[in-house]
Homo-oligomer: A and B are copies of this chain.
């Protein structure tokens, strides 16, 4: 990205240095879109998934009040615009969710009349569950033909698993670069060709009139490179993350049982993110104790300024309220080593034993 931060040209300028910037921007667009099974003109650069999710949902909902098919498991960047649509008159029909946090297309019955909007994440930011979004879209296309739109928040999935926008069948898809080792401050929104969608910011008409503001060539180039690397190394990273997960969980099981992994079984979700319940241990205290030992974890979404919200929809996975207060969110990266994860597991187990009053 460095040369582009030093290159002041606006990619919309008509002169040589402007055109050079535009070439770099369009190259980044083509490469990123191609990795995600989309056409270049379907990709809109945004400031991140929060903007993408809001733009997708506010732009997607047809005039009138569609029924929103959406679960409580969505990230606040999705549930907040959902609340805005509800305030404008939309109703919500909850998506059926298994006790492991996976959507169940077969149980989606008794669809209401009128326009529908499916809103479903592609992978969950806590459990790592990979969702049957294509099956949900297909199920709705059969039962409510011609009256269903669909958005997927693919923030956790892009760069971790192969994502094909057209095969998913959704109208819009959101992602953030910093979730796949790209720079913070840029994301993308995919909008299906030919599907009606109303942009939320127009400004100077950039991004084919779909998102105003001078695009950051440096960030777009950085995002495209990060996505390329993620795809070139995907299977290697996935296998390594599975090794890391096993090494980590083995230490926990050996040294601080009982514990409960919440979410789908190994191999049915993203390997790098975990929800773990440590019975009898308050998660807030545990997270502080882990931090003192140099292990960074959290109890919920690390989004709200200065506060920790509980993970949205956790009640669907952990019905007992006292148990929910024992759930810690853990994640790691492919750039870490098995030895590091083993060490993290040891430290966490030590803190958990201490908080339980067990001998060290």
Using a CB–CB cutoff of 8 Å, the interface residues on chain A facing chain B are 1-2, 5, 8-10, 12-18, 22, 46-51, 53-54, 75-77, 80, 176, 178, 181, 183-186, 201-209, 212-219, 222, 287-288, 290-291, 294, 296-299, 301-309, 333
Contact = CB atoms under 8 A, between A and B. Distances in A.
A216 B1 CA distance: 15
B14 A76 contact: no
A293 to B, nearest CB: 10
Nearest to A19: B291
A24 B13 CA distance: 34
The 10 closest A-B pairs by CB, nearest first: A204-B303, A185-B216, A47-B47, A50-B213, A50-B203, A205-B304, A15-B296, A184-B216, A13-B302, A77-B203
Contacts of A48: 213-214
Given A12-B302, A80-B204, 17 more contacts: A8-B333, A10-B303, A13-B302, A14-B291, A14-B299, A15-B291, A15-B298, A16-B296, A17-B296, A51-B201, A54-B201, A76-B202, A76-B203, A178-B214, A184-B216, A205-B307, A205-B309
A18 B302 CA distance: 9
Contact of A305 (B15, B185, B205, B296): B205
A307 B13 CA distance: 8
A45 to B, nearest CB: 9
A75 B47 CA distance: 21
- Copies of chain A in the complex: 2
A47 B185 contact: yes
A342 to B, nearest CB: 20
A214 B291 contact: no
A288 to B, nearest CB: 8
Nearest to A49: B213
A214 B303 contact: yes
27 contacts: A5-B222, A8-B181, A9-B296, A10-B303, A13-B302, A14-B298, A14-B299, A14-B302, A15-B287, A15-B290, A16-B291, A16-B294, A22-B306, A47-B185, A50-B203, A50-B213, A51-B212, A53-B203, A54-B203, A76-B205, A80-B203, A184-B217, A185-B216, A203-B303, A204-B309, A205-B304, A206-B304
